[in-house]
Structure 1
Amino acid sequence: MKRAIVIVTGALVMAASTGAFAEQTQGGKDECLLLSQNCRDQVDDIHARMQRLNKEIQKGTRVYSPKELEQLRQKLAEAQEMLRSMEKPGR
């Protein structure tokens, strides 16, 4: 009986930890920002998203390919434009 409890507990711990591990893989890539994958329970305000994008862009080519860096820069530009449009007076 104890053995069964230990096995079930171990399986639950392993299942819970894989979600956090999947968010950053392959040498620190943030798949949630890059591909909108593995984003369970992750909601950022626009400022936090811009900070995360900047942090990932700063990792440069040691983590991301040039194509992926361009995707991150594009997402940052979109977030900045969204912020500008929300801050416009008269809205």
Structure 2
Amino acid sequence: MKRALLLVTGALLMATSTGVYAEQTPAERNECLLLSQNCKDQVDDIYTRMQRLSREIDKGTRVYTPKELEQLRQKLAETQEMLREMEKPGR
């Protein structure tokens, strides 16, 4: 069961990889986190993903629309839930 959960988690992280942009300015939207577009072949660990999502959310409406901010918040909540599931004893 634990192995299946880890495989599913790995697949989810790979599907929504959060690679680094080339020459991204702080004012640009992070389409990789928001839409899983323009991503390199790099996958962040779960802690890095949560930090990056939080930084993007902190940019607020000067960069993102309210709908996009909600999408980022949802992705952060999903990532946090994934971490909680992985940390549960006996899994």
Q: Give me the TM-score of the superposition, normalised by structure 2.
A: 0.72
- Residue 53 of structure 2: aligned partner: 53
Give the structure with the higher percent strand.
1
- Residue 62 of structure 1: aligned partner: 62
Report the Cα distance in structure 2 between the residues aligned to 1:77 and 1:36, rounded to whole angstroms. Answer: 16
Report the Cα distance in structure 1 between the residues aligned to 2:32 and 2:87, rounded to whole angstroms. Answer: 26
Whose radius of gyration is greater, 1 or 2?
Answer: 1
**Letter aligned with residue 48 of structure 1:** T
The Cα offsets for residues 26-60 of structure 1, whole Å up to 9 and x where unpaired, read as x3100000000011122100000000000000000
Report the Cα distance in structure 1 between the residues aligned to 2:42 and 2:30, rounded to whole angstroms. Answer: 12
Report the Cα distance in structure 2 between the residues aligned to 1:69 and 1:42, rounded to whole angstroms. Answer: 23
Q: Which runs of 4+ in 1 moved over 3 A?
A: none
- Residue 80 of structure 2: aligned partner: 80
Q: CA RMSD in A?
A: 1.4
**Letter aligned with residue 20 of structure 1:** A
Report the Cα distance in structure 2 between the residues aligned to 1:42 and 1:33, rounded to whole angstroms. Answer: 13
Report the Cα distance in structure 2 between the residues aligned to 1:49 and 1:79, rounded to whole angstroms. Answer: 8
Report the Cα distance in structure 2 between the residues aligned to 1:76 and 1:31, rounded to whole angstroms. Answer: 15
Give the structure with the higher percent helix.
1
Q: Give me the TM-score of the superposition, normalised by structure 1.
A: 0.72
Report the Cα distance in structure 1 between the residues aligned to 2:85 and 2:72, rounded to whole angstroms. Answer: 20
Report the Cα distance in structure 2 between the residues aligned to 1:85 and 1:33, rounded to whole angstroms. Answer: 21
- Residue 16 of structure 1: aligned partner: none
Number of matched residues?
A: 70
**Letter aligned with residue 74 of structure 1:** Q
Q: How does 1:31-50 map to 2 (within 5 A)?
A: 31-50=31-50
